[in-house]
Structures are given as structure tokens and as C-alpha cells.
Chains A and B, each alone.
Chain A
Amino acid sequence: MEAVQEIEGVAKKNQVWAYVIVGFLTLLTMATYAVNEYYIYVAAYLWFGFVYGMCLQYGRFCFSSAFRDLFAVGVPRMAVGIMIAMVLFGAVSAFVTATGNSTFHPAPYGIHSVIAGFIFGVGMVLTGGCASGSLYKAGEGNATAMLVILSISVSQALFASVGGWTNNLVPYSWHQTAVARGLPASINAGDGWVDQYLAGYVWDQPVTRFSKLLELRNPFVASFVGDVLVGIVLPAAVLLIGVYLIWYRKGYLRKRAAARLPTAGLGVNLTGYWSMIVASKRTAIAGLALGIAAGLHMYVMKGLMLKFGVTNFGQLMQEMGITAGLSAKGTVFDPGYWYVTTQEAQWVGWVFNKLGADNMDNIYFGLENGLPNPLINPADWMSLALIGGAAVMALLSNEFKWKGTTRELAMWAIIGGALMGIGSRLGLGCNVGAFFVRVSQGDVSGWMFGSGMFVGAYVGVKFFNWWTERKMAKEMAAFEL
């Protein structure tokens, strides 16, 4: 009797905290709106972040797992989940795009996309989670995940502004091109590795979407046939065939044989393929919800931009009389959709700036994204609310648990987080911004970054296999197996 009451007691406490978090975010929304209606713009980012956090935690939706667990333990759950989410997101976005309401801009594609994805892929295996994954796991009370976020934030803030000796690592052609671009003098484009990488190389790379490649004139046909069918559904279906054949089929046929069912023929394999797709209901539901929410997010942000007559939140900040931290163009980071990493770089960059660092003389902070106070940074609220949404979901299922870190895990968190930070700056996005979103929008660079992640994850898993084998051997020396 007492044990049962104790368990109910734990659940009650969790419920209370869940209400506290939701209540806080609700009060914040209402109070800021009462001060100025422009705060609804921040609130939109906040609540979509909250939804992402809830879905990610519920579905244990992890991009790192998608690649890593295929190689590490032969589990295709998340690879399937991501494909489902991308198709849904793509479908909703196609409609949004075709009606002229998209906030998305495709990114320059090239070999750099693949290299960036590779570096990011290694990092996300070492840390145990991707960028959004680390946010949602932080919401579960996981200190290692919090350390990963810190590492991603600091590494980006440093990488984006570092010059000095790193300038020697820049090809001269990049330097020349960057300097000749006529950027504001305060930005000093000829100094800084990332500045010269962007202004001297990346900005000259081609940009395209599948809808453009196919040259279909009707916007709806272009978006649905080009971006969704050719850009997402076909590649995803083919990739999943590969996943089925390599990692799922053997187990599926083994179970069929045990149940004395036929194990040969196309029909069997088609059933098997479908069984793989629906194997995890939780993941599929989370994927569906995330895809739809991400699409709606774009639609809502575009609506707010039209409503207030702006293209960037920086303009609203100026009208509110808040100019501290704006970029040279008068803008702040305002992606218009689900995006992680830049806002993480920004809050650390803001702290460094307050401590006296001169870090507004670069493209990333000084020209494009600014260093606004984190409390007024819409994307920072998206990340914070993502953590909150994950925490609420975890609390409601009694999965919230404060977990400390260990020296070993802290080492992987810091190294992996730094690789993720660097990879995301090189790729102009993380697993969400540079892969999930771009593939879903038909941006050619999306699959390129993804292919880099695929190889990077493979290398990361190989490394961890070696590392864990060593530790296993030490444990087993004590007994005979």
C-alpha cells in the first residue's frame, strides 16, 4: 500500500512541475503581449519550439540515432521516422511555398556541404544526440546533454569570430574574393576564417531546389512533383529499401520462419518493408506531428511578417526602441522555421561581448545575425521552449530524472559538441537546419549534408565500437565467459 502511494506521490510532483512550466510560458506570452503586440512574434517561435520539444521527447526522435543505430545495433527506427517526418513537412511546405508564403531560402551547395555534414556526423555520435536531440535530452534532466549544448554554443561563438593565426589557413583566392565584396568596413571580411569561407567561397556556390531543376511552371506542380516527389519521396523510398535489405530483412524473415510463415517472394518483402515503416508507432506519430508542425511554423511566421510588414524581427525591435545587438544590416537571426545552433552561438556570443570581446566584426554576428539580448532573441526562446516542452512530456510520463555526467561522457560531450559546432557553421546549419529542413524544402544541399552525416556517423560508430570493446575486455578479464 505504501509503495503504491509513494509512486503516486512521485507522479503528482511531476504533474505539478509540468503545470509550472506550461504556466510560466503562458504567463510570459500574455505579459509580453500586454507590453507590446510585437512580442507575439517571439511567442510564435516559443510555442512551436515547445511543440517540437514535446514531440521529440515523446517519440525519442533523434537524428543521431537515425544514422548511428543503423550502424551500431542495426536498428532502423529513426531512419524511418525521419523519412516520415520529411515527407509530411515537405507536403505541408510545398503547399506553403506554392501559395507564395514560404520563409525558406535554399543554401549554396557544394563539396563543403558534404564535408560539413561529415564533421557534424562524427560529433553527433560522440555526443549521443544531435543539436535538437541534446536540447530535448537536457529537458529530461540530462547533464551530459546540457554540456553538449554548452560545447556547441561556445565552439560556434569562437569559430565564427576567430581570426589571427587561422587566417593563414585560408586560400588566397577566398581572401581576395571576400575583401572585394564590398562589405561594411566594420565587418572586416578579410580577417576571420569563417568570414573568408563565407564571403570568399560559399556565397559563390550554386543554389537550387528540385522544383527549379525540373523547370515545372505551375507552382503547385513544381513544389509537389519537384520538391516533394523527386526531392523527398523517391530518394527516401529508395534509401529505405537499402535500409530494409541491409538491416531489417534478416530479423523479419527470422520471425516469419519462427511463425511458420512463407519467407520468400516479393509479397513477403513488400510486407516486410511496410512492417519496418510502421514498426514504431511512437516514432511515426512523432514524425507526423513534427512534420506538420514544422510546416505550419513557416506559414505562421510568414503570416506574422506580412501582418507587421517586416521581413526580419530586427525591424520590429527597432520599432520597439531596442537596438542593442542588431547587426549592421539592422537584422537579427530570424530563420522563419525550426532551426537550432545559431541561437546557441548567439547567447554565448552575447556573454562574451558583455565581457568585453570584440566579436561584432564578423559576418556571422556583425552582418547577419546580431547579438541581441537572449531574452529578446526569438530563436533562443524557441530553444528554451523546446527544452521546456521536452521536460513537460518527460514529467508527465515520469521519465524526468536529473542525471549527472561522468568524466568519460563529459569528454565526448565537449569534443563532439565542438565538432557539431564547427560542422554546423561550415554547413550553415545542423541536422535540422542543414538536413531535415533543406531536404523537406527540396533544397539540393540537404541530401549532400545528409550524405556527409551518414559517413561521419559510420566513422563515429566504428570509433565507439573500438572504445567499448576495450572497456568490455577489461571487465571480462575478471571472469571467464
Chain B
Amino acid sequence: MKFEKRNEGLYALDVCGYVCPHPQLYTKKALEKMKGGELLELVFDNASSGESIAAMCDSIGNEVVEKTTDSGKYTWKIRKIAA
């Protein structure tokens, strides 16, 4: 698991290789620690986790602004809901 700050307002979380519930747990924690309006670039490769992460973002109001898939690897850009 890698969580790093790329720039001001841009973070990257890589949870490739993990199975449920780790990707969704780490994503939740990363977003909680970020400020409103900041962007998280998330990379994971567990399809089931995607369902939970999408639902979680929808419920809280974090916007998944971009989704790309490449041979089972998912890269999502999530913007945390503004405070």
C-alpha cells in the first residue's frame, strides 16, 4: 500500500494486490484525511472493491471524476466533496 502526496491538493493511493476490504478501507481513510476539494488518484485491481468504493463515494458526495480500466487495473480520480 502506498499513499503519497504528489502536489498541493493532489494525493495518490495505490492498493493494487489487495483484496476486500483493504482497498475500500484505505480509500475511505485517505479521503477522510484530505481536505474538501482535493483530488485523490486511486489505483486498485480488485473489482469487488470498486462496487463498494463507488457506493461509498456516492453516499458521501465525493465525486469520481474519472475512471480508467486497463486489463483489470482500475485508476480512479476522486474529488473530495467541498467542505
Given contacts A10-B71, A401-B72, A481-B34, whether A65 and B19 have CB atoms under 8 Å apart is no
Q: Do residues B60 and A251 form an inter-chain contact, with CB atoms below 8 A?
A: yes
A77: which B residues are within 8 A, CB to CB?
Answer: 51-52, 55
Say if the beta carbon of A5 comes within 8 Å of chain B.
no
A165: which B residues are within 8 A, CB to CB?
Answer: none
Given contacts A72-B25, A128-B19, A481-B33, whether A60 and B48 have CB atoms under 8 Å apart is yes
User: How many Å lie between the Cα of A142 and that of B19 in the bound state?
Assistant: 9
User: How many Å lie between the Cα of A475 and that of B4 in the bound state?
Assistant: 7
Q: Do residues B59 and A251 form an inter-chain contact, with CB atoms below 8 A?
A: yes
Interface residues of B in 28-68 (CB under 8 A from A): 28-30, 33-34, 45-48, 51-53, 55-56, 58-61
Measured as residues with beta carbon below 8 angstroms from the partner, the interface class of chain A is 35 or more
A461: which B residues are within 8 A, CB to CB?
Answer: 21
User: How many Å lie between the Cα of A129 and that of B19 in the bound state?
Assistant: 9
Q: Do residues A75 and B19 form an inter-chain contact, with CB atoms below 8 A?
A: no
Measured as residues with beta carbon below 8 angstroms from the partner, the interface class of chain B is 20 to 34
Give the distance to chain A from B1, nearest Cβ to Cβ, in Å: 6
User: How many Å lie between the Cα of A255 and that of B18 in the bound state?
Assistant: 31
Q: Do residues B71 and A409 form an inter-chain contact, with CB atoms below 8 A?
A: no
Q: Do residues B17 and A404 form an inter-chain contact, with CB atoms below 8 A?
A: yes
B45: which A residues are within 8 A, CB to CB?
Answer: 401, 403
Most buried by A among B20, B51, B71: B20
Q: Do residues B20 and A398 form an inter-chain contact, with CB atoms below 8 A?
A: no
Say if the beta carbon of A8 comes within 8 Å of chain B.
no
A68: which B residues are within 8 A, CB to CB?
Answer: 20-21
Q: Do residues A406 and B17 form an inter-chain contact, with CB atoms below 8 A?
A: yes
A409: which B residues are within 8 A, CB to CB?
Answer: 17-19
B55: which A residues are within 8 A, CB to CB?
Answer: 73, 75, 77, 279-280
Q: Do residues A400 and B72 form an inter-chain contact, with CB atoms below 8 A?
A: yes
Q: Do residues A69 and B24 form an inter-chain contact, with CB atoms below 8 A?
A: yes
Given contacts A399-B72, A475-B4, whether A251 and B58 have CB atoms under 8 Å apart is yes
A258: which B residues are within 8 A, CB to CB?
Answer: 61
User: How many Å lie between the Cα of A385 and that of B72 in the bound state?
Assistant: 23
Residue from the list B2, B28, B60, B72 in contact with A475, Cβ < 8 A: B2
A478: which B residues are within 8 A, CB to CB?
Answer: 4
B29: which A residues are within 8 A, CB to CB?
Answer: 468-469, 472
A145: which B residues are within 8 A, CB to CB?
Answer: 19
Say if the beta carbon of B22 comes within 8 Å of chain A.
yes
Q: Do residues B20 and A64 form an inter-chain contact, with CB atoms below 8 A?
A: yes
Say if the beta carbon of A355 comes within 8 Å of chain B.
no
Q: Do residues B5 and A481 form an inter-chain contact, with CB atoms below 8 A?
A: yes
Q: Do residues B19 and A137 form an inter-chain contact, with CB atoms below 8 A?
A: yes
Give the distance to chain B from A459, nearest Cβ to Cβ, in Å: 14
Q: Do residues B59 and A72 form an inter-chain contact, with CB atoms below 8 A?
A: no
Q: Do residues B3 and A69 form an inter-chain contact, with CB atoms below 8 A?
A: no
Say if the beta carbon of A176 comes within 8 Å of chain B.
no
Q: Do residues A479 and B18 form an inter-chain contact, with CB atoms below 8 A?
A: no
User: How many Å lie between the Cα of A461 and that of B21 in the bound state?
Assistant: 9
A64: which B residues are within 8 A, CB to CB?
Answer: 20
B33: which A residues are within 8 A, CB to CB?
Answer: 472, 476, 481
Can you identify 10 A-B contacts, CB atoms within 8 angstroms?
A64-B20, A68-B20, A73-B24, A140-B47, A145-B19, A250-B59, A468-B26, A469-B29, A475-B4, A480-B5
Q: Knowing that A68-B21, A69-B52, A409-B18 are A-B contacts, what are 10 other residue pairs whose CB atoms are under 8 Å apart, sorted by A's residue number?
A: A65-B21, A73-B24, A129-B19, A140-B47, A248-B59, A255-B58, A401-B45, A406-B17, A409-B19, A472-B33
Measured CB to CB, the residues of A under 8 A from B are 10, 60, 62, 64-65, 68-69, 72-75, 77, 125, 128-129, 137, 140, 142, 144-145, 248, 250-252, 254-255, 258, 279-280, 283, 398-401, 403-404, 406, 409, 461, 464-465, 468-469, 471-472, 475-476, 478-481
